[in-house]
Amino acid sequence: MKTLQFREAIAEAMSEEMRRDDTIYLMGEEVAEYNGAYKASKGMLDEFGPERVLDTPISELGFAGIGVGSAMNGNRPIIEFMTFNFSLVGIDQIINNAAKIRQMSGGQFNCPIVFRGPTASAGQLAATHSQAFESWFANCPGLKVVVPSNPADAKGLLKAAIRDDDPVIFMESEQMYGDKGEVPEGEYTIPLGVADIKREGTDVTIVSFGKIIKEAYKAADELDKEGISCEIIDLRTVRPMDHDAILNSVKKTNRMVILEEAWPFGNVASEIIYHVQDKAFDYLDAPIVRLNTADTPAPYSPVLLAEWLPNHEDVIKAVKKVLYK
């Protein structure tokens, strides 16, 4: 094992795949000369040159469309959005072209493309730069949605995403790029659609993904001091979702809390709750509790932002609620 920052794991995954396959290229704002807005493509321009690491104008619709067209013609582009808030400018290319061209062409075209960049809040960035769109993209058939929470998962999942023959939405976090973690030496990938049990437990299942899962870890440490054993599942991939991992855990613990940084209406937690009540209702000893952001645009005020986001204290309260404590 070696220790890498999250940004280094991302750069390493892209570089390894670009050395393996010369149809892969990286395109986006500031990915080349500036080494990436978050330094997640550091050194790649020097190694691969300007034909495979391309700076673009501020035109998400334009370079998303170029990526989709080149993917249909045999390339494997990696399109970086400076944040997924800006993907809304190019979302027509993602939803109406990338996600649908395989079906609409009768299988004559596929679209092996990765759209990657940070999602959700990152401090005081206010309403238009603090949005989580995992559930938006996951709602669309034809897209796969990946949200890693640590460097090792990020590298293995990104390599798998780049090799996938369908479009993948790969969502990171500005607040995780500096995170350090152990990453396996040598070649490895992590299959899409497979969740990971990050912590074994017996009393309650906590399901989460992305950077907000850190609050679940903090809560589990505190609850362990009180003799409450939490099992933590990191979805890693939102779509396809590993329903078996969730159901098997709930059948063991009989209680569930879902922690998601997203607005509460029609989100990933809602989808999980539906499947659990449909497939494991008789195993539940308490109603499922979900923890989300407030149902408002993200505030700029640091005091209000702290109230807007779910935190480990909210997780502790939710766990005690499902345990009737």
Catalytic residues: 60, 129
CB atoms within 10 A of CB 240: 12
Per residue in 273-305, is it b (16+ CB within 10 Å) or e — as a string? beebeeebeeebeeebbbbbbeeeebbeeeeeb
Return the closest-CA partner of residue 58 out of 39, 37, 44.
37
- Over the range 153-177, which residues count as b (16 or more CB within 10 Å of their CB) and which as e? bbbbbbbbbbbbebbbbbbbbbebb
Q: What is the DSSP string of 180-208?
A: EEEE-SS-----TT--EEEE--SSEEEEE
Determine the distance from the C-alpha atom of residue 94 to the mean position of all C-alpha atoms in its chain, rounded to a whole number.
Answer: 16
Question: Which residues have C-beta within 8 Å of that of residue 219, sequence separation ≥ 6?
Answer: 206, 230, 312, 313, 315, 316, 319
